[in-house]
Copies of this chain bind each other. A is one copy, B any other.
Amino acid sequence: MLLTGFEATRPRYELSQARSLDWLAAVHTESEATRASLGADDKAIFATRMARMIGRCACAPDKIASRGHSVRDVELGGWDGNEIYDVRRDPHGAGTAARSRLFGELVDAYFEETYATASAPDDLVHVTCTGYAAPSGAQQLVARRGWPTRVTHAYHMGCYAAVPVIRLAVGMSSLGSRRVDIVHTELCSLHLDPADHRIEQLVVQSLFGDGLIRYSLVPNAPHGLSLLALHEQLVPDTAGAMRWIAGDHGMQMTLARDVPEQIGAVLRTFVIELYRRAGVELGHMRDSVFAVHPGGPRIIDGVQQTLELSDGQVAASRAVLHDHGNMSSATLPHVWMVLDQTLAPGTLIASLAFGPGLTVCGALFEKR
């Protein structure tokens, strides 16, 4: 089975990381000014402090150059009449209902756009952890077109979702589906809480960007990534390391600092099992390219170090993080798209993804 036909769509608004971090400092300051009714002097002091904190803990522009956003507010940069980050009214911004509605509208429009000229797949798997609105954009597209396509929601798995979704798609194809389309719509920019000034939240809010991508699983195609093996594992005693939960003002994330180390502890054993499942000798790790979910710069550094990989082996993962930030489950497919366009046929691709659980997921491909 081959993954092929990668088509990414850029979100509506693209912000340089420098400008995005300025906005982040400004929205946190404006939120605090509302919450604590700050006067001009106190507000200026808070702004300076916030800029300093973000300068120290946020993902810097040398690691992430720009990120896609879907909320108009961020592009406009003002505060009155914002659709989500109306922090002069509520320091947290809009409630979950408004965020879900906007998600629904944007995702509905995206499905219509990305399928403007595309034909009906047998199965359409919609993947997201950043918006729960049914009927989904996928369902509405299929109903509007009168397609016989089956729609499946693979929601709320988090950053690692691309791997289990391939497993589901391979299952569908073994039941007779000739083309399974997989569509990720991750609108992370809908889920900031500007009233939560903790370091951990500033890191998260400087890291995630929006990503929209679709691709297909088919038996044959002129080029693509041929699937050799899949592997998934939950890491014991790490349940508290990462949480993703429906909250009052969008989704809430918690993220422990030691996630890279907790993943690192099981990584070698995990990769050995992945190659074993594919029947590929472990020595081929050396000439494999690694598509690592770039949760953040430290994740890639950690994987590179633990598995003793060269810079070149993780270059595509670092480049996608640099160009777009962490786009949750849409990130790894963006890396696959780059590798499908650039690698020589025959190259092995080891894919690794991580998310709540902690869950570690892997796929081994050969570029065709």
Contact: B157 with A134, CB < 8 Å? Answer: yes
Main secondary structure of the interface of A (DSSP, over half): mixed
Within 8 A of B (CB), among A320-368: 355-359
The one of B131, B156, B172 in contact with A134, judged by C-beta atoms closer than 8 angstroms, is B156
Q: A144-B236, A153-B156 are in contact. Are A104 and B245 (CB under 8 A)?
A: yes
Q: Give the docked Cα–Cα distance between A244 and B133 (Å).
A: 6
Within 8 A of B (CB), among A131-158: 131-136, 139-140, 142-144, 146-158
Chain A interface (Cβ within 8 Å of chain B)? 95-97, 99-101, 104, 129, 131-136, 139-140, 142-144, 146-158, 164, 167-168, 170-172, 174-175, 232-239, 242-248, 251-252, 355-359
Q: Give the docked Cα–Cα distance between A172 and B132 (Å).
A: 25
Q: Give the docked Cα–Cα distance between A140 and B367 (Å).
A: 35
Contact: A143 with B248, CB < 8 Å? Answer: no
Contact: B246 with A133, CB < 8 Å? Answer: yes
Q: Give the docked Cα–Cα distance between A79 and B243 (Å).
A: 31
Q: Chain B residues near A133 (CB, 8 Å)? A: 243-246
Which residue of B has the minimal Cβ distance to A157?
A: B153
> In the assembled complex, how far is the CB of residue A138 from the closest CB belonging to chain B, in whole angstroms?
10
> In the assembled complex, how far is the CB of residue A169 from the closest CB belonging to chain B, in whole angstroms?
9
**Copies per complex of this chain:** 2
Additional 16 contacts, C-beta under 8 A, given A134-B357, A152-B164, A155-B156: A100-B246, A132-B132, A132-B155, A132-B246, A133-B243, A133-B244, A134-B157, A135-B239, A147-B234, A148-B233, A151-B232, A151-B359, A153-B155, A154-B154, A168-B168, A170-B171
Contact: B152 with A155, CB < 8 Å? Answer: no
Contact: B236 with A132, CB < 8 Å? Answer: no
Which residue of B has the minimal Cβ distance to A356?
A: B134
Contact: A158 with B170, CB < 8 Å? Answer: no
Contact: A139 with B357, CB < 8 Å? Answer: yes
Which residue of B has the minimal Cβ distance to A247?
A: B97
Which residue of B has the minimal Cβ distance to A145?
A: B236
Q: Give the docked Cα–Cα distance between A38 and B95 (Å).
A: 27
Q: A171-B170, A175-B167, A239-B140 are in contact. Are A150 and B232 (CB under 8 A)?
A: yes
Query: Which 4 A-B residue pairings sit nearest by Cβ, starting from the closest?
Result: A171-B171, A95-B248, A134-B356, A97-B247
Which residue of B has the minimal Cβ distance to A132?
A: B246
Q: Chain B residues near A245 (CB, 8 Å)? A: 97, 100-101, 104, 132-134
The one of B97, B154, B238 in contact with A143, judged by C-beta atoms closer than 8 angstroms, is B238
Contact: A132 with B156, CB < 8 Å? Answer: yes
